Amino acid sequence: MPRLGVNIDHVATLRNARYRADIDAVSAEPDPVLAAHEAVLGGADIITVHLREDRRHIHDRDLLLLSQLVRVKLNLEMAATDEMVGIACRVQPHTAMLVPEGRGEVTTEGGLDVAGQADRLKAVVQSLHDAGLIVSAFIDADTRQIEAAATAGFDICEVHTGPYARAFARAGGDMARDELLAELDKVADAGEDIMGANMRFNAGHALNYHNVGPIAALPGIGELHIGHAIVSRAIFTGLRAAVREMKDLMVQAASYG
C-alpha cells in the first residue's frame, strides 16, 4: 500500500497572506508546524514541504522546526541550487526531492529535466548522498528522463501526475475514455521502468479525492504526495479528518488493486 505524504505548503501560504513580514509573531497563524502535527494524527506517513528560493510559503524557520519535531518522514522539495543543497545537508530531511522551480508559476509545473542537465544533477545528487540523504527526482512519465535519473544516481523518481489529473477531469472520471486510460497507462509504464532501473516509484501532483484511486492501485507505487486537495478539504472538515479520508481512499484502492 502506498504511503501518504501530506504537503503543507498551502498552510504557510495562508499564514503569509497576513504575516509574511512577521511569521515569528505570536499571533501568526495558521502554523505549518501545528498542521504537520494534525496531519500525522490523521494518518500521514510523510510530511512534505517545498522551500522555494523566494520563500513564498514555507520559510527556513518552518523547515528547521519540522526537522526537529516531526516524528515521521520529512520530505524536502527543493531546487538544485547551491543554497538549497547547503540547507538540505544542514537540516537533514529524510528525503531531498529535486524539482524544477519558476518564480512565475503558481505551483510546480512539469517535471525536472534531468536529461538536459545530467552532469550538474549528478554532482548535486552526489553531494546530497555524501550528506546521508535519500534523493528523489520529480519527473514526467518519460523514458528518457527515467534513464537519465538512474544514470545520475537518484534513489527515487516521483512521477508527475498532472496530465493524468487533467485527463481525469476532462473525462469526468470515466475510465472507459481512451484519453484517460492512456494517461494512466503512461504513469503505470513509467513506474515499471523506474522499478526496472532499481529506483523507487512515487507519484504526485494534482491528485485529489476523486482521482487518487487508480494511481494508488498501481503495482509497486511507494508514496503519493498530496497537498492542495487535502488542505482545501480541511477548511470544511479539519485537517486531521481530511488526511484520514484521503488515507482511507488509498487503502481501499490498494486493497482492490
Which one-letter amino acid corresponds to residue 251?
V
Cα angle at 33 between 56 and 246, to 5 degrees? 90
Catalytic residue among 10, 37, 59, 205: 205
Query: Among the options 10, 37, 38, 50, which is catalytic?
Result: 50
**Of 37, 38, 57, 77, which residue is the catalytic one?**
77
Q: Is 50 a catalytic residue?
A: yes
Q: Tell me which residue has cell 509573531.
A: 25
Q: Indicate if 129 belongs to the active site.
A: no
For the question of residue 77 being annotated catalytic, the response is yes
Which positions are annotated as active-site residues?
50, 77, 205
